[in-house]
């Protein structure tokens, strides 16, 4: 049985989904399988896209794995609850994060409803799919602005791989908040963000011209000189490079 559907946050989308889920006895996961375009399914979660009245939303069902995980969610201490709060806080600061539309508690877990994008993709897939007409410089400049804005606000992203940065055709958005937390501006955590982004840029072989467009925008938004920023980044970058002894990296960019 589906059980009770409880709205934790949100209004329009939350009420709409509460009504539909309450009328579907099989459960939220089964409802998503039938009504959304499934993007990913694991033991821990199920995600898909839903379009209603021309609006696109990304739905993620975070399954309760145990009584302990259910209790943590109800106390607001689950990872999904934490990520929701962080995304709201970053959005209030004007940073580019998808709008958090709703959060519901269902029998199987926590259902998050997030603004969906009808075009674009994460930076890794866009790089692999690019053609001669694509202006990837615009993507790199926007990525620099986004990361600088996050760091200047006193946060570290935590996992600044290209797969966790989404270009919607206008801006680069932050999408994964598992490791996001407040930190000292210019500290080692922020240096690791920059190192991780740079390591991916080297791995994909984007070249110095595109990378300098990213770094130039980043330096405009954070304190310190280029020399200062690169010196802080270089040690974690060496460590990331060392974890990939099999090679696969292109031109060293710093």
Question: Following DSSP, what letter does each residue of 147-159 receive, concatenated?
Answer: HHHHHHTTEE-S-
Residue 217 has a CB neighbour count (10 Å cut-off) of 18
Spelled out in words, what is the top-level CATH class assigned to the domain 6-115?
alpha beta
Residue 62 has a CB neighbour count (10 Å cut-off) of 22
> Contact, 120 vs 169, CB < 8 A?
yes
Strand locations in 89-143 (E): 100-106, 109-115, 121-122
pLDDT value of residue 1: 41
Q: What whole-number distance in Å separates Cα of residue 232 and Cα of residue 185?
A: 12
Strand partners, 112: 60, 103
> Contact, 137 vs 213, CB < 8 A?
yes
- DSSP structural state of residue 163: G
Between helix 188-204 and helix 226-242 the angle, nearest 10°, is 70
Domain 121-242 in the same topology as domain 6-115: no
Report the chain (254 residues): mean pLDDT per 10 consecutive residues. 77 92 90 95 92 92 74 66 92 96 90 93 94 88 98 98 96 96 97 97 95 98 96 95 64 88
Which three-class secondary structure state does DSSP give residue 102?
strand
The residues near 231 (Cβ < 8 Å, ≥ 6 apart) are: none
Name the CA radius of gyration of the chain, rounded: 20
pLDDT value of residue 67: 60
pLDDT value of residue 137: 96
> Contact, 197 vs 156, CB < 8 A?
no
CATH code: domain 121-242 is: 1.10.510.10
Q: Is 220 exposed, middle or buried (0-12, 13-18, 19+ CB in 10 A)?
A: exposed
Could you tell me the CA-to-CA distances from 64 to 1, 7, 43, 72, 110 in Å, in that order? Answer: 16, 17, 10, 10, 8
Residue in the block written with tokens 């991780």: 196
- Domain layout of the chain by residue ranges: 6-115, 121-242
């Amino acid at each position: 049985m589906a059980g009770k559907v409880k709205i934790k946050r949100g209004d329009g989308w939350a009420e709409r989904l509460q009504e539909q889920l309450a009328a579907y006895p099989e459960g939220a996961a089964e409802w998503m399988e039938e009504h959304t375009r499934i993007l990913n399914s694991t033991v821990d979660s199920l995600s898909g896209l839903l379009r209603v009245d021309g609006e696109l939303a990304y739905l993620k069902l975070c399954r309760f794995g145990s009584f302990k995980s259910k209790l943590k969610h109800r106390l607001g201490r689950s990872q999904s609850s934490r990520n929701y709060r962080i995304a709201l806080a970053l959005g209030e600061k004007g940073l580019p994060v998808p709008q958090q539309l709703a959060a519901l508690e269902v029998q199987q877990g926590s259902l998050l409803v997030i603004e969906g994008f009808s075009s674009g993709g994460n930076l890794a897939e866009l790089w692999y799919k690019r053609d001669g007409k694509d202006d990837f410089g615009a993507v790199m400049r926007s990525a620099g602005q986004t990361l600088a804005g996050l760091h200047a606000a006193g946060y570290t992203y935590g996992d600044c791989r290209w797969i966790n940065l989404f270009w919607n055709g206008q801006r680069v958005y932050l999408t994964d908040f598992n490791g996001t937390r407040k930190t000292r501006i210019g500290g080692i955590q922020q240096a690791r963000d920059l190192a991780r982004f740079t390591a991916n840029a080297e791995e994909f072989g984007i070249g110095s011209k595109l990378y300098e467009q990213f770094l130039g925008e980043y330096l405009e938004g954070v304190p310190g000189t280029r020399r200062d920023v690169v010196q802080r980044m270089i040690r974690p970058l060496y460590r990331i490079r060392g974890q990939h002894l099999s090679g696969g990296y292109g031109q060293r960019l710093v």
